[in-house]
Structure 1
Amino acid sequence: MPIVRDELDPKISMWYFLAHSLRFWREKEGLSLTQCGQVIGVARSTVSNMEAGRRRPQDDHMRLLDQRYQTGVIFQMLLWFARMAHDPDWGRQIAKYEEQSHLIKLYHGQVIPIALQTDDYTWACVRAGTPKDFEASMARRVARKQYFLGRMEDFEVWALLDESVLARVVGGPQVMRAQLEHLLKLSELPQFSLRVVPFSAGAHLGVDGSLQLLSLDSRDVAYSGAQNGGRLIETPGEVRELSVKFDRIGSKAASEDASRELIKQYLERYT
């Protein structure tokens, strides 16, 4: 008997609504997965993964479906809105991309990135937030952090931090001391580059919010942070724009050696 997949809830995100629509229209037109794949030039399994939300479709796929279904630009616009909208499920998707990446670039200007935090620092951040379940939120962050650190031999990390991250006391002096010692240890790893944008650099593009760039084998993706969430970005043009922004922020940063010295200066303040 054929395997019947549960339909995705289209109310969860625009990506789920798009995946739901792909399956609805294919079945409405009486096409099999294989036949649909022939329309857009991909394998049966690829269509299945798109409809299950495991793989993101591309512009040419949506254009060909609009032609086949005579839907104008509906599928092309659904893809556009999915890319532009905040995705509540972004954390799960970006974690998948992190598994495939060989280079991760991070910029944070408010707090230490989760992947680089000590557990005490993470707990202080969790308690400062408003989750319904502090323990569950903490468990999710620690699990992601442990996985990230466990794979650090498999990829490079380029991290840019604003000096305000060092100056902001999260969890008290003792927590900050341990956190800065942790950063210094990470900065000694050959695959890890840590640079700080000092206050003396003045205004820079990083004041708009955090960002993350992931280099995969075939393409790059990005994440732009914002209040109440952020946006996972897969459009090549937007990803390039964020890559340029990261480089421009980096042009304001101190060297790796000077950044370590700056971290040590703050470490003395917390001792």
Structure 2
Amino acid sequence: MSARDSLEPDRSLWDLIAVELRRQREERKISGTRLGIVLGCDRSTVSRYESGTLRLPEKHAKILDREWRLDLLFTRLVHFAKAGKNEDWFTGLTEYEAHATRLKMWEVLLVPGLLQTPEYARAALSAGLVEDVELELQKRMSRQQAVFERPKPPQISVVLNWVTLAQTLGDAEVMRGQFTKLLELSELPYVNVRILEESAGAHVGMDGCFQLLTVNDRDIAYAEAPQMGRLIRDPRDVQHIAVRYDRVGEVATPVGPSRTLIKRALERYR
């Protein structure tokens, strides 16, 4: 699948800009080479704008609006796309998880939401600023069902910071249930869980949690934030997250010994 074929204009403003640019150019029967001359760039740059692999800069948006008399159409689209907290309009992480063929997760403090028991999730949500804990819990469990209960679940790779095994949420029963589930999940053929031990020292994952998702043969990233997470679709930024994940994985404990570490954590709550 080409980059152009993977564009989703109903979900992403940047994808809409790319699709609309091509539509407007073809409607005027202007070649990519000719448009490049108008914008002061080469044909390959125009092609990258239209495929979504390069974002249309504001200076070129203004030129397009002036030359094609579009009443600031591209200028406004670029402005809103740059200002948006989340690049997707009607969908978000949940829908991407439900359709992903591969998920990679790095977690600093807690067991990831997709791997949580209801009791552990409730304890985590209760410790935050969530207004309706039960509603958010229901959403989290629905996310899990969409991933694990479909006919062909995705390949899931998880790296957990050692703190996730040391941090207690709720009581001993909650922790027993969570670590038991973590072990059960780690034994599924499509799931692997690794632990980054304290002895690993400083590493590139210390500045926050993130996910990598492969959806329709396209990689997307999701970065956690205190108030609201952020979906990342720009190929260069996604590549940056992928490199961070690989770097964290390189110093993580292998799958087998990681199971032993989880079992030891479970024993503390017997």
Q: TM-score, normalised by structure 1?
A: 0.73
Give, in whole Å, the separation in 2 of the partners of 1:267 and 1:169. 11
Q: Which amino acid aligns with 1:166?
A: L
Residues in 1 aligned to 2:156 and 2:53: alpha-carbon distance in whole angstroms: 30
CA distances 1:152-171 after superposition (whole Å, capped 9, x unpaired): 83310010100100100011
The residue identity in structure 1 corresponding to 2:229 is G
Letter in 1 for 2:24: V
Give 1:203 deviation, angstroms.
1.3
Are positions 1:58 and 2:58 aligned together?
no
Q: Percent identity?
A: 32
Q: Per-residue displacement from partner, 1:24-51 (whole Å, max 9, x unpaired)? A: xxxxxxxxx9x98732669xxxxxxxxx
Q: Is residue 105–residue 159 contact of structure 2 (8 Å, CA) maintained in 1? A: yes
Shift of 1:91: 9.7
Looking at structure 1, the residues matched to 89 and 260 of structure 2 have their Cα atoms a distance apart, in angstroms, of 35
Corresponding position of 1:259: 258
Where does residue 97 of structure 1 map in the other structure?
96
* Structure 2 counterpart of 1:169, one-letter code: T
Cα distance in structure 2, aligned partners of 1:264 and 1:91 = 41
Q: Deviations over 1:83-136 (max 9, x none)?
A: xx5339789412222233211101101111110000100111111112222221
Q: RMSD of aligned C-alpha atoms?
A: 3.4
Helix, strand or coil: the match of 2:229? strand
SS in 1 for 2:253: coil
Q: In the alignment, what sits opposite 2:23? A: 38
Aligned length: 229
**1:267 Cα deviation (Å)?**
0.8
Alpha-carbon offset, residue 230 of structure 1 = 2.0
- Residue 216 of structure 2: SS of its match in structure 1? coil
What pairs up with 1:139-218 in 2 under 5 angstroms?
139-151=138-150, 153-218=152-217
**Contact map agreement 1:119 1:142 (CA 8 A) in 2:** yes
Maintained 8 Å contact 1:107/1:212: yes
CA–CA separation in structure 2 for the residues paired with 1:259 and 1:59:
38
The question of whether the paired residues in 2 share the 8 Å contact of 1:40 and 1:65 is answered with no
Unaligned runs of 5+ in 2: 1-9, 28-50
TM-score by length of 2: 0.74
How does 1:111-150 map onto structure 2 within 5 Å?
111-150=110-149
Give the whole-Å Cα distance in 2 for the aligned partners of 1:202 and 1:90. Answer: 39
User: Cα 1:231–1:155, aligned 2, differ >3 Å: closer, same or farther?
Assistant: same
SS at 1:226 equivalent:
coil
Gap runs ≥5 in structure 1: 1-14, 23-32, 43-56
